[in-house]
Structure 1
């Protein structure tokens, strides 16, 4: 049977996987305070509730680590996405039938491991099957928008079911995640793996076949195949050494790229987004002091805003470059977070309403900048031989930091009150100098030309006319080719 790939099916399949991720990120946030959930789980205390929510995150970290291991690359991008979706279905069945916190946590652990597989390999699958460098950034960035759509839909479904009665109030929203995971399986299954993976596994004929289907042009497919082979040749013999993560003396700087990606994603998820994501209704209702119905509406509106902003940032990420979006985001987010913390400290009714407005302002800035851009950056800057490891470890940093904030955040708020938000403020501020001094601009480059960012002696393609040929056959302008820090 001949290999076939349908890039649009791949794209929509991975998107549904990210909708599933967003759904699980938001669905419990809207039902934790309902009497039906409290009755079924026997009124869990703050620590137990935090573990119910955060177990998904810790398990997602484990899933990313498994997908990042050296032997995992043998299975390919496609298989890991499908296995992850299947695990999510099993975990959802366990969760929605739970009558104890132990069973619910077990179900969320299975969902989390599956989610780790999807989130760590899905962006790589899309990046490696994107037709052009200009398409790659928006296509990968939109994945975070899909996650935000999942969260927003989950919150609105939660809000609608607050008018129902009985256990269906929380069980149906939790169970509906199966729908998104099934779509992921159905859409991804008919496709071959990415062409870069076939070349990496020393199967060039299959890689060329898939490239021909993606580009629908034999000359372009052959040129990209030649660039992939050149990239692999550049990376031959370069192994990851622990010392390289501190002082990298290798030509392609593989360890440096992985380290930069891990720190970038880690900082992004220490800015407070998961604390807001998972406890949106609780923040508005308990921390800010809004009525329950108003809190539900505000939660739905905030997650909807997050989804819209993520799409905007993804669509326009090619304008200005990755670094500028991240720098502006960090600066503006810091301002909103400072005001938010100050207003919480005042602790009056008017100050609480203003704090809610500042939180919306923070989401308005975060959603088009630090929400999609880290995904884009790590999926395109990793070297081919270590791409699965680099992206997997970067995504594991997301889940580890998210677990830390989601588990410790509510407990910290009980102990120190509004001061817990200073923790998130610090990382909003740290984001600016980190991006400015350490990250390099990757906009406009094909995946096979990323090595040049770290060693100018490694040139792929024809540069005789003062520009370097890109994977799509176009030319990259000089200001895009060399932007150094």
Structure 2
């Protein structure tokens, strides 16, 4: 394993993995209605089409579960990212050459498993190799911006290929996913693993070596090394017990943190984003009633808007904190989604969907990724993030598979399902989530148990809210957090 690390290469390697994820999320949505695809797949019915699209999501859930298993942490963050990219390439080759729904589904299952590996470990890899606390949230959140960019690019490529002839209309866009997976491997390979992973496995010297490359000041590297060791001592002997997910009596509240993260991501993906992602063109063309060309252009515009918003929310996520972004997002999304449902019920072409995307993209798109990547305890971080991401894919599968069938049977009423979860997001965040902004990873335990504090409260930056146990900001805290 390499002993050198370049955080910028780590960033771009994982980003390309998320571009691949976004590409797959969008590429079929723009070609499902083309005559070339319908001919190759022998005009699949609604249920078969839903399974073709949703098989990727269910397989991603399986990949996340594999990456979250207790034995998986022995492999390391770096290897999981590369292994996922390799599996994606194999699945893409099978998918792009498919002449039956069975072969296409098999290929998409492999792509999904590989994607599960990448998205469940990539955010952890970045969070654990980021030197400054104030950069951690934006750098992790921007991953969703790259995923949305991949989706937008896929839709625009699909639109361009609608003017082509023959099977290239859908096979070439599907095959292009290989480019991003290959780049993920090339960029990730030269790097060492996360310093936190080395310490977790008793490889302290390698951990120190990597920390010295991440931090320009030797004193910063030594301080972080000391804090990692302190965190590990706090978590010694604490095992995840099933009962703790309901009543957590442990000091570090590991089960509580995992449970909160799983529910947060699950709620985010029951709000309807994957339904919109995967069936964008179909929604505009079939259910809103736009012409095919107009529907393709609107799909490209909507996914581009989603990407821009995700980057915006990630870059400015340190302003206000995680909770405020999520609370405002849920409130405004509820307004737009309820208006969208009402307009659909009245038979009107609903532009409110663009308003919903505009709000969701900087709030509930990147913020859950940021939250779960930084609040999990070190000993269970791979499990916590993996289970959180598995909730994403399981809920996404449910919506993408059941959504079109629901459209066919109950029409616009299926959107009431999504409206309910947009509303539920607000009370869940308000009553259950704690503000994690500004805290070093090694100080997250203190957020759940103040007795574990290893230093004075003034050493920790971050916004608190009443009842969350967070420490209120002061000018001095901001300066210290910036240095860390």
TM-score bracket for this pair, using the shorter chain length = over 0.9
* 8 Å CA contact 1:467, 1:477 repeated in 2: no
CA distance in 2, matches of 1:114, 1:217: 37
1:9 Cα offset (Å): 0.1
**Equivalences for 1:249-264 in 2 at 5 Å?**
249-264=249-264
* 8 Å CA contact 1:453, 1:482 repeated in 2: no
Give the match for residue 223 of structure 1.
223
* 8 Å CA contact 1:92, 1:108 repeated in 2: yes
SS for the counterpart of 1:128 is: helix
Give the match for residue 400 of structure 1.
394
Q: Does 1:444 align with 2:438?
A: yes
Give the match for residue 245 of structure 2.
245
Give the match for residue 374 of structure 2.
380
Q: Does 1:322 align with 2:322?
A: yes
* 8 Å CA contact 1:123, 1:379 repeated in 2: yes
1:484 Cα offset (Å): 3.7
Using the size of structure 2 for normalisation, the TM-score is 0.96
Q: Deviations over 1:224-252 (max 9, x none)?
A: 00000000000000000000000000000
1:216 Cα offset (Å): 1.9
SS for the counterpart of 1:236 is: coil
SS for the counterpart of 1:104 is: helix
SS for the counterpart of 2:452 is: coil
* 8 Å CA contact 1:4, 1:210 repeated in 2: yes
CA distance in 2, matches of 1:9, 1:199: 22
CA distance in 2, matches of 1:477, 1:337: 32
Using the size of structure 1 for normalisation, the TM-score is 0.96
Q: Deviations over 1:121-170 (max 9, x none)?
A: 00000000001110000000000000000000000000000000000000
**Equivalences for 1:465-476 in 2 at 5 Å?**
467-468=458-459, 476=461
Q: Deviations over 1:77-130 (max 9, x none)?
A: 000000000000000000000000000000000000000000000000000000
1:468 Cα offset (Å): 1.5
Q: Deviations over 1:162-212 (max 9, x none)?
A: 000000000000000000000000000000000000000000110000000
**Equivalences for 1:98-109 in 2 at 5 Å?**
98-109=98-109
Q: Does 1:409 align with 2:403?
A: yes
1:218 Cα offset (Å): 1.0
* 8 Å CA contact 2:87, 2:110 repeated in 1: yes
* 8 Å CA contact 2:261, 2:388 repeated in 1: yes
Structure 1 runs (4+) deviating above 4 angstroms are 477-483
Give the match for residue 88 of structure 1.
88
Q: Does 1:42 align with 2:42?
A: yes
Give the match for residue 362 of structure 2.
368
* 8 Å CA contact 1:26, 1:151 repeated in 2: yes
CA distance in 1, matches of 2:466, 2:352: 38
CA distance in 2, matches of 1:449, 1:219: 18
1:459 Cα offset (Å): 1.2
Pair 456,481 (structure 1): closer, same or farther in 2 beyond 3 Å: farther
SS for the counterpart of 1:467 is: helix
CA distance in 2, matches of 1:478, 1:425: 30
1:278 Cα offset (Å): 0.1
Give the match for residue 196 of structure 2.
196
